[in-house]
Structure 1
Amino acid sequence: MGRAEERRARQRGGARRAAPAPATGHRAEGGRMDRRKSKGGKGDRGFIRRMFTWKKLLGAFFGAVLVCMGAFVVLYMVIDIPDGNNEAKLQSNVFEYSDGTVMARTGDVNREIVELSELSPQVQHTFVAAENKSFYTDKGVDLKGTARGLFNTLSGKGKQGGSTITQQYVKNYYLTQDQTVTRKLKELVISLKVERQNSKEQILAGYINTSYYGRGAWGIQAAAQAYYGKDASKLSPQQGAYLAALLQAPSQYDWSSATPTGKKLVKARWNYVLDNMVEMHWLGASERKGMTFPKPHKPKAASGLTGQEGYLYEAAKAEAIKELDIPKEKFEAGGYTITLNIDRKKQKQLEKSVREQLTDNLDPKSRKADARVQAGAVSVDPKTGKVLAMYGGRDYTQHYVNNATRDDYQPASTFKPVILAAALQNQSQTQSGQQIKASTSYDGTSKRPVEEDGRKVGFAPPNEDDRDYGPVTVQTAMNKSINSVFAQMGIDVGMDKVMATAKQLGMNSDDLKPYAAQTLGTMGASPLEMAGVYATLDNHGKKVTPQILKSVSYGSEKLPLPDAIGGRVVERGVADSVTSVLTGVVDDGTAKASVRDNAARDGQQVAGKTGTSDDNKSAWFTGYTPDLVTSVGLFGEGAVKTSEEGAHVSMKGAGGLPRVDGGSFPARIWAQYMFNSTGANSKFNLDTDMGAGVAPTSSAPATPSQEPTTQTPSQTPTTKAPTQTPTTPTQEPTTEPPTQDPTTEPPPDPTDSPTIDIPENPVNGREEQ
């Protein structure tokens, strides 16, 4: 047997021996099963290859794209451009002095929208260079940046930049700052629609006006003021580049509070902006090379409403709403720029005069009466009606009522010139038939019953200190503020005519009723009103309505204001004759000590009238030069946190004086302010064809031995028909009549015959002013 055969025999024998073993059969079956499994695996892979062929994947991709496009079309059709959100529409109201200096900004949002044309082209380009160089050529959306933003939002990675200027504007103005998928999809759709409906200029303007720049400033105008103290129209390219750089991180990049790292970053971004401008050919390389970083100003406290500014703000706001018929809700929403006529120098001088002549002389801790004194004052240009200065009270945050515009206190004897004006305007006569003028004689006896056509009308006011003057001229009665004379004069003229003249001259109180007691100024009036009345007299009878507003603009629209100077309400001769008479009050009357003898007067002609109400609850001096009218009022008001709080109370004892009369603190304040606020001395240009002021006749307290004069008192009964409907005793005033102004001077010496400086009559053909 050969070797080959032996091997085969061994193999056969081994196979036979191994066959009965169960394990061998199992392995064989397992092998078959493994082979079947192996064949099955190859089948699964084949199935997957058959299911996901490249054709099917490509088809699925395009299907998904079509679905997304369909969904986007639906979104585009469903989503409209919404109205701007309310917060984005809010603006501040800006209040300025006459020289353009900002006095205050008010409102919940510090924003003032400006037109793009107000900015230089280079400043406009700084924002494009900082945020979106392709702004002028793109379609308003950055799909890559939006997709990145969506991914980061979905993955929780937070805010992601990269949006275009259009998208940022849409987010600021139409939507919110929320980082949601829904908001981002809306942003995309609305941005495309905004691009179709608005120009690039409109979009850029909207963006820079709605963005936040830090320091509480929304929009470029507020930012320009906050960082550089100037209007946006005056920004340099360097300053514009800084503001554009701020938008990336307003708080971190504010130079005044930035860390060294923050300063490094903002300066790098500032360079980035300018370099991009050079790249886009918006800035010359040589010009860029010479630019230095414009460090912004340190933050300033927001313009508040403390001190006098609060009163000025409230007065200007009230006038704007009333004169321009602006709904209060619209005004509060902002967007108005209100420029006042207030002259900063005169305003400071008025405040100084009140402080030095009144406040420094009051000691509320030592004298209870001193805490009751409130002061108000208004200064007006009689030729233009401009309110050049206003004093409303000690501080707007401490006393909210504006004493310059309040009309709840009596003007007292400052009303007497109105009675004389009515008499001259109506060519009225006394009861004895004398024409009423400065030289007309009246009986100045205290408590003399007022008569009309021989009948007593039930009114007999006392003079100050119950003093009898006897027969006096109208001039002397005005100088000494004799109540009994003007009470009778009012009846002679007719109280209905007196009240009509008061309204024509500018008084608008609801209390202008034709009662006899109104001759003593028992109605309410404000310093603003009385300044207007006297300004009309100073303006030769042409109506002057004091106006605190110089201009009002809403956005770029300048709103028309009513004319402060109206037509003639009393004849020139009437107004000028009253002015002539009022010079005597200063030169020989109740204002002599404080005004005539003031060292700063230096020959300046002055006309004016004092006033002191009953029980010393108010005290006034209203007077004028040819170029300026000022009314000063002091009011007794119950001190805060007392049982009298807010009530009208007496000022007796205030400032250490027995009585605060019009010739004391009010006249002193007036004199210091006026003689330091006017320029070169000027003279009244008067046409006194109705009768000029006259030198007063000397008068002394009446005594039983006093000789009668040859002049017949006006109260002598005559058969002359009455000039008005008789005033019945039932027409009583609702308040106690005020007394006339006291004089701190001793009783006049019978041998003394003072004169006043009466202007000469004008030549024919003189131009009216």
Structure 2
Amino acid sequence: MGRAEERRARQRGGRRAAPKRRRSSGAAGKSGIGRLFTWKKILGTFFGLCLLGMGAFIVLYLVIDIPEGNADAKLQSNVYKYSDGSVMTRDGDRNREIVDLAKVPKDVQHTFVAAENKTFYKDAGVDLKGTARGVLNTLAGKGAQGGSTITQQYVKNYYLTQDQTVSRKLKELVISLKLDREKSKDYILAGYINTSYYGRGAYGIQAAAQAYYRVDAEDLTVEQGAYLAALLQAPNQYDWAIASDTGKKLVRERWNYVLDNMVEQDWLDAAERRAMTFPVPEEPKPDPGMGGQTGYLVDAANAALERQLVAQGSAEDMKQAQAMVDAGGWTLTLNIDKKKQAALERSVKTQLTGKLNPGENEADARVQAGAVSVDPRTGAVVAMYGGTDYLKHFTNNATRDDYQPASTFKPVILAAAVDEDATTQDGTPITANTLYDGTSKRPVVDHGRKVGFAPENEDDVDYGDITVQQAMNQSVNSVFAQMGVDVGMDEVVEVAGKLGMETEGMDAVPAQTLGSMGASPLEMAGVYATLDNHGKKVTPALVKSVEHNSRRVEFPDPVGEQVISREAADTVTSVLTGVVDDGTARTSVRENPLRGGQQVAGKTGTSDNNKSAWFTGYTPDLVTSVGLFGEDPKTYAQVPLYGAVGEERLNGGEYPAQIWAAYTFGVMDGISRFDLETKQGAAVQPTRTPTPTRQPSRTPTEEPTTREPTSAPPTSETPSPTPTTQSPSPTPTTQSPSPTPTTPSPTVEEPENPFFPEDDDER
């Protein structure tokens, strides 16, 4: 055996001879773990988990779609504004008004990006590190954590909930990625600033701009925008009005942080930044709500919008239109003039409601007032009074049409007479100087046949032969009942419809000449505005404009076509100046110290059994209809106004005319004159002494001699006298003898009376 082989043999034998050592259990365990957790296996497991996570995420990405927005996140209020753009009120469950991003200044947009997410315009919509930290903190029970992008915050606000759960955070991540791919950055930013909560009950930048600075979002400055952006971190803590000293310090620091970031991003000039001062917000303003007149205005504006949505085909019916309006998001600018509205409310209070004492006088509790004021040149409803308080009396007295307009309807009859070139039954044209028999309870006849209607004049006064002008001044029922039949009641109703009255269902019967149909102050204001506008149709418009996000609702022009001749309209205006200067409105209007020479036309009305009292009057620039209505406060039934304010009876020439005068003369800007084109002149005086007669209608056999027609009103020194129970005897303007009728009284037969109402007070 060689030496080498011998050595190897000894080595083998030595190993065999070496003593055996017992391995400790610890050493054996370590060797097992080492074999189980090799670096290769650890890395393999890690990459496997990564692949599994990626697969799971891909599945989530494919499964999770961008959902519909939350119902709460879509809630908006409707905003109602005065004609000057100032906010009247809001309604709805959520104070939010969504605005297009284009209406928000670019610099103000940048304040939100600078505050929350400087990389917003470059990132993919998510912050993976922040999201991972949020998931881990949620699992560890540490609560909400920041660090989300603007996209993620918008997704949380609009599509998801505020719940702090892992599943919600994973959904937020997926939806944010998808949203960033499918929508523009402007879309996301607009959603973010419109859904965020800013404190003071304000959701969205528009509501916040109003709540903190009393401006619209489009008028925000960079400084103001930076404050609103800073608020989002802690709305209540940072609200300057309620913030502690620490809170004020923190919000100032946050505000500076926002502006400094804007400089860093080259969105703001450094020198301009240094010149900026902290914009202290306005004090919180109490929610005006629906109290007082606001609720009446809101309801009336909503009704007008709903009608227009149906008219233009945006809604199939009123029910659908109402649902659309109730959904919110509308901005309605009304034609209401803030100063005139306040003046009308003040006039009603000082002239009427401030004098009522329901606690001591039961009749005072029955008085309801309504009024509407219209610009006849534009049709704009500039003021409206619906009642003492919307929260106490929900029915809008300005738009209700269940009370009789009474003698305020008489001008419609005269308008029809002139427009139709009507004549009395003996063929004489009906003019301001035409003579009629003003005897109370005189039967109305139609070409020799009694029609079964014999209305009583107020207080049963007999006037005898009286001119149309005098009959209008004193509101003589018997004259206008006969005139209506002379013109033809079908024609009268037709002209009423042209002027703006609701004539559907209105029977063309003589009783209508006393204004026995229903009408509202809004309706009568439109009728008289058409007269004031020389016969061009005026449909009172409460709503000036309506917007819903980027969509506008177009309304028809309130001023329409010529519906009656200018001659007819101006003749009525001319005659109605006599009511003010020489008739039933003389005390309240003509002698009002605030008048100052202002020309006024108008008509009083007192309905059957004193259930309503009216004055509708106008100047060249303003038409206002005032109505008082008797309503039982418990049953809401129509009741008389007798005894209210301590008066035996409430007439149109008293409190309604006083309200009208205090309002109109208080808001008029200078003195204006009527521009009349009429052969009648203005408030033409009678040219003869009327004598009692029982004839149905009479005109002189020769044209009465009158003053030269003029558009100027009569002076207060030559009024026609106030009637008494005796026939009036005004002084004639000439010495012409009284004309003699050319025909005797017709012989008539008395038929059954199908139309005779129990109207005892029509004035």
List runs of 5+ in structure 1 lacking aligned partners. 1-31, 720-725, 742-769
Count of aligned pairs between the two proteins: 696
Mark the CA change 1:603 to 1:110 in structure 2 (over 3 Å): closer, same or farther. same
Contact 1:509 1:524 in 2 (8 A): no
SS of 2:522's partner is: helix
State the 1:690 CA deviation.
7.2
Q: Which amino acid aligns with 1:660?
A: L
Does 2:357 align with 1:363? yes
Q: Which amino acid aligns with 1:124?
A: Q
Does 2:599 align with 1:632? no
Contact 1:431 1:715 in 2 (8 A): no
Q: Give the corresponding residue for 1:261.
A: 246
Find the aligned partners of 2:38 and 2:490 in 1 and give their Cα distance: 106
Q: Which amino acid aligns with 1:154?
A: L
Mark the CA change 1:158 to 1:497 in structure 2 (over 3 Å): closer, same or farther. same
Pick from 153, 157, 162: which aligns with 2:138?
A: 153
Q: Give the corresponding residue for 2:758.
A: 736
Q: Deviations over 1:113-136 (max 9, x none)?
A: 112222222211111111111111
SS of 2:328's partner is: coil
Contact 2:441 2:478 in 1 (8 A): yes
Find the aligned partners of 2:728 and 2:34 in 1 and give their Cα distance: 141
Q: Give the corresponding residue for 2:696.
A: none
Does 2:756 align with 1:717? no
Contact 2:432 2:680 in 1 (8 A): no
Instruction: Report matched runs for 1:223-622 at 5 Å.
Output: 223-325=208-310, 327-508=321-502, 510-622=504-616
Find the aligned partners of 2:302 and 2:467 in 1 and give their Cα distance: 46
Find the aligned partners of 1:364 and 1:43 in 2 and give their Cα distance: 104
Q: Which amino acid aligns with 1:499?
A: V
Contact 1:553 1:559 in 2 (8 A): yes
Mark the CA change 1:518 to 1:713 in structure 2 (over 3 Å): closer, same or farther. farther
Find the aligned partners of 2:589 and 2:461 in 1 and give their Cα distance: 24
Does 2:663 align with 1:673? yes
Mark the CA change 1:710 to 1:687 in structure 2 (over 3 Å): closer, same or farther. same
State the 1:709 CA deviation.
5.7
Instruction: Report matched runs for 1:90-239 at 5 Å.
Output: 90-239=75-224
Task: Using the TM superposition, name which of 609-618 and 329-338 deviates more.
Answer: 329-338
Mark the CA change 1:433 to 1:702 in structure 2 (over 3 Å): closer, same or farther. farther
Contact 1:443 1:715 in 2 (8 A): no
Find the aligned partners of 1:543 and 1:371 in 2 and give their Cα distance: 37
Contact 1:91 1:107 in 2 (8 A): yes
Find the aligned partners of 1:195 and 1:703 in 2 and give their Cα distance: 90
State the 1:608 CA deviation.
0.7
Q: Which amino acid aligns with 2:603?
A: K
Contact 1:92 1:106 in 2 (8 A): yes
List runs of 5+ in structure 2 lacking aligned partners. 1-18, 316-320, 691-722, 730-736
Find the aligned partners of 1:629 and 1:568 in 2 and give their Cα distance: 18
Q: Give the corresponding residue for 1:659.
A: 649
Contact 1:574 1:690 in 2 (8 A): no
Find the aligned partners of 2:661 and 2:380 in 1 and give their Cα distance: 20
Q: Which amino acid aligns with 2:98?
A: I
Pick from 44, 69, 75: which aligns with 2:54?
A: 69
Find the aligned partners of 2:365 and 2:464 in 1 and give their Cα distance: 39
SS of 1:324's partner is: helix
Find the aligned partners of 2:743 and 2:121 in 1 and give their Cα distance: 87
Task: Using the TM superposition, name which of 380-389 and 49-58 deviates more.
Answer: 49-58
State the 1:363 CA deviation.
2.2
Q: Give the corresponding residue for 1:647.
A: 637
Find the aligned partners of 2:75 and 2:744 in 1 and give their Cα distance: 67
Q: Which amino acid aligns with 2:191?
A: G
Task: Using the TM superposition, name which of 82-91 and 44-53 deviates more.
Answer: 44-53
SS of 2:604's partner is: strand
Find the aligned partners of 1:550 and 1:377 in 2 and give their Cα distance: 19
State the 1:207 CA deviation.
0.5
Q: Give the corresponding residue for 2:708.
A: none
Q: Which amino acid aligns with 1:686?
A: L
Q: Deviations over 1:181-232 (max 9, x none)?
A: 1111111111111111111111111111110011100011111111111112
SS of 1:187's partner is: helix
Mark the CA change 1:705 to 1:470 in structure 2 (over 3 Å): closer, same or farther. closer
Contact 1:541 1:569 in 2 (8 A): yes
State the 1:46 CA deviation.
2.3
SS of 1:462's partner is: coil
State the 1:728 CA deviation.
7.6
Find the aligned partners of 1:275 and 1:35 in 2 and give their Cα distance: 74
Whichever of the two has the greater Rg, that structure is 1
Find the aligned partners of 2:453 and 2:742 in 1 and give their Cα distance: 18
Q: Deviations over 1:396-427 (max 9, x none)?
A: 12211111111111000000011111112222
Contact 1:377 1:528 in 2 (8 A): yes
Find the aligned partners of 2:128 and 2:407 in 1 and give their Cα distance: 79
State the 1:715 CA deviation.
9.0
Find the aligned partners of 1:727 and 1:60 in 2 and give their Cα distance: 114
Task: Using the TM superposition, name which of 289-298 and 382-391 deviates more.
Answer: 289-298
State the 1:739 CA deviation.
2.1
Q: Which amino acid aligns with 1:395?
A: D
Find the aligned partners of 1:702 and 1:243 in 2 and give their Cα distance: 74
Mark the CA change 1:101 to 1:652 in structure 2 (over 3 Å): closer, same or farther. same
Mark the CA change 1:705 to 1:466 in structure 2 (over 3 Å): closer, same or farther. closer
Contact 2:200 2:284 in 1 (8 A): yes
Contact 1:167 1:188 in 2 (8 A): yes
SS of 2:302's partner is: helix
Contact 2:421 2:429 in 1 (8 A): yes
Q: Which amino acid aligns with 1:381?
A: D
Contact 2:82 2:333 in 1 (8 A): yes
Find the aligned partners of 1:482 and 1:711 in 2 and give their Cα distance: 22
State the 1:291 CA deviation.
2.1
Find the aligned partners of 1:371 and 1:705 in 2 and give their Cα distance: 38
State the 1:43 CA deviation.
3.6
| RMSD (CA atoms) | 2.3
Q: Deviations over 1:49-82 (max 9, x none)?
A: 2222111211111111111111111111111111
Q: Which amino acid aligns with 2:758?
A: E
SS of 2:90's partner is: strand
Tell me the TM-score normalized by structure 2: 0.88
Between the aligned residues of both structures, percent identity stands at: 64
Find the aligned partners of 2:498 and 2:742 in 1 and give their Cα distance: 30
State the 1:380 CA deviation.
0.6
State the 1:711 CA deviation.
4.4
Contact 1:516 1:727 in 2 (8 A): no
Q: Give the corresponding residue for 1:6.
A: none
Find the aligned partners of 1:156 and 1:714 in 2 and give their Cα distance: 107
SS of 2:126's partner is: coil
SS of 2:188's partner is: helix
State the 1:716 CA deviation.
3.7
Contact 1:93 1:338 in 2 (8 A): yes
Q: Deviations over 1:250-298 (max 9, x none)?
A: 1111121122222222222122212211221222222222222222122
Find the aligned partners of 1:309 and 1:713 in 2 and give their Cα distance: 60
State the 1:366 CA deviation.
2.5
Find the aligned partners of 1:52 and 1:714 in 2 and give their Cα distance: 132
